[in-house]
């Protein structure tokens, strides 16, 4: 076992990275005198991982939505479910499946040891039967239909389907009613045994805790795993978007939009991530020139935002929000990007955005849930929570101007719109 103490020279915070003998990487971020404690147990397994091989063996194809299905089923056991156990400790528990990971979490102010043991227990104890799997199909089917009625969900996935030709990121995280009907206990066990290997997982904890507190339970509960090679397979994805516009009608009072800029997929370095965060602040912060122009034209409201959306095999930037005229808003965004690339980002805009991104990063270290969620996300993307703060601080105007030239291709974007029903 290797325990490494990592300190920030800028914030004076520290955390511990533990390479546990079981194969699991554990992060502990001590927050002395904090009442709240938070833990998240995650695996690098999301909705896009529907074709894979283990140890260079035969490629396995599984039904869409199986990662999300597995998340639901893992809470169940032969003796009951994890939520009932958490109810006795008073912890607030939850889980989520994204495109590239699945995470199980809880927060509490008391009975941490008991809640922590529940987390480590049920995530390592799969229990699937024909009967319980069949029962879940109806529950998740209802969830899928609920999302089909959500304008926010539909405007995003319409955009993704218009952006990606082949990549499974365009498929709903929960799958379809048809795809989940194909899920069996054998599929669930196969995916569990592949991706829920501790070498493919991470455990992050924050609160008024010590390394000894964490290892006391980890040493007792973690089941050592043999390390395997997991290879995920994706079809070749063309650079160009599928279509540049799609719309759908919903009973909404104000139109919604998602404007997605597709880029070549590649592994994002820590330095690139810092540069992109600053660029996105320059483009969407309420203090930015673009925000002011859109606001003066009464085209946006406080819902206006953007996101760097990247993962295995996909990479894009998405602008979103409500707008009385989505097409006009999209054109103004594209024209501003063209203008910004031609004349370059100003020193004032750069310094303002850099301070904002730095401030947000430091402030996030005051929240135990933000800390753990960020540690988990960064772990799977080889980014250090303190290193990114250093890279933001050391980023130069030339860095962001050079990065801007390589992204946000205005000729390779798609606009998805939800319009009010007449």
Known catalytic residues are 71
- Answer yes or no: is pLDDT of 217 > 80: yes
Question: Average pLDDT over the chain, rounded to whole?
Answer: 94
pLDDT given for residue 69 in this prediction: 93
Bridge pairing between strands 230-232 and 413-420: unpaired
Question: How far apart, in whole angstroms, are the C-alpha atoms of residue 147 and residue 140?
Answer: 11
Cα distance between residue 117 and residue 89, in whole Å: 11
pLDDT of amino acid 422: 77
E-only strand ranges, 190-341: 201-207, 230-232, 245-250, 256-262, 305-311, 314-322
User: What's residue 141's pLDDT?
Assistant: 85
Domains, the chain, with CATH or none: 2-232 (3.30.830.10), 245-420 (3.30.830.10)
Q: What's the pLDDT score for residue 63?
A: 95
Instruction: Give the model's pLDDT for residue 56.
Output: 86
Residue 79 has pLDDT above 80, yes or no: no
DSSP secondary structure letters along 385-412 = TTHHHHHHHH--HHHHHHHHHTS--TTS
Residue 78: pLDDT band (50, 70, 90) is confident
DSSP class per residue in 21-59:
TTS-EEEEEE-TT-S-EEEEEEES--TT--EEEETT---
Report pLDDT for 140. Answer: 87
What are the angstrom distances between the C-alpha of 171 and each of 42, 50, 81, 166, 415?
Answer: 22, 11, 29, 10, 18
Residue 64, token pair as written in the block: 């869409």
Question: Quick one: tokens of 330?
Answer: 């999209």
Prediction pTM value: 0.94
Instruction: Give the number of C-alpha atoms closer than 13 A to the C-alpha of residue 416, restricted to the C-beta side.
Output: 22
More confident residue, 139 or 66: 66
Per-residue pLDDT for 132 more than 90?
no
pLDDT in tens, 324-356: 999 999 999 999 999 999 999 999 999 999 999
């Amino acid at each position: 076992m290797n325990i490494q103490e990592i300190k920030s020279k800028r914030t004076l915070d520290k955390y511990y990275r533990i390479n546990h003998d079981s194969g699991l990487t554990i992060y502990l971020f001590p927050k002395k005198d904090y009442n709240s404690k938070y833990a998240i147990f995650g695996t690098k397994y999301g909705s896009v991982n529907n074709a894979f091989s283990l140890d260079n063996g035969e490629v396995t194809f599984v039904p869409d939505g199986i990662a999300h299905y597995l998340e639901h089923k893992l809470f169940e056991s032969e003796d009951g479910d994890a939520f009932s156990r958490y109810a006795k400790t008073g912890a607030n528990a939850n889980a989520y499946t994204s495109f590239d990971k699945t995470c199980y979490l809880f927060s509490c102010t008391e009975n941490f040891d008991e809640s922590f043991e529940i987390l480590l227990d049920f995530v390592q104890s799969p229990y699937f039967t024909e009967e319980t799997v069949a029962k879940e199909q109806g529950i998740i089917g209802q969830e899928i239909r609920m999302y089909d009625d959500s304008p926010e969900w539909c405007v995003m996935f319409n955009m993704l389907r218009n952006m990606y030709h082949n990549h499974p990121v365009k498929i709903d995280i929960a799958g379809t009613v048809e795809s989940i009907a194909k899920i069996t206990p054998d599929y669930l066990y196969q995916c569990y045994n592949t991706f829920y290997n501790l070498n493919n997982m991470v455990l992050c904890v924050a609160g008024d805790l010590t390394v000894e507190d964490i290892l006391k339970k980890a040493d007792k509960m973690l089941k050592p795993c043999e390390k395997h090679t997991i290879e995920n397979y994706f079809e070749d994805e063309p650079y160009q978007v599928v279509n540049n516009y799609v719309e759908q009608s919903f009973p909404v009072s104000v139109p919604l939009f998602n404007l997605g800029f597709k880029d070549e997929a590649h592994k994002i370095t820590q330095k690139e991530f810092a540069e992109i965060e600053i660029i996105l602040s320059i483009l969407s912060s309420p203090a930015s020139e673009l925000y002011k122009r859109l606001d003066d034209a009464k085209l946006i409201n406080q819902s206006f935002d953007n996101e760097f959306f990247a993962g295995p095999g996909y990479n894009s930037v998405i602008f979103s929000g409500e707008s009385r005229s989505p097409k006009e808003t999209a054109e103004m965004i594209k024209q501003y990007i063209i203008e910004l690339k031609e004349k370059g980002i100003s020193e004032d805009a750069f310094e303002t955005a850099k301070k904002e991104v730095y401030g947000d990063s430091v402030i996030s270290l005051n929240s135990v849930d933000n800390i753990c969620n960020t540690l988990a996300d960064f772990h799977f993307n080889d980014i250090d929570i303190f290193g990114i703060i250093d890279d933001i601080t050391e980023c130069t105007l030339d860095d962001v101007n050079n990065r801007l030239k390589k992204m946000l291709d205005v000729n390779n974007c798609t606009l998805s719109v939800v319009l009010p029903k007449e």
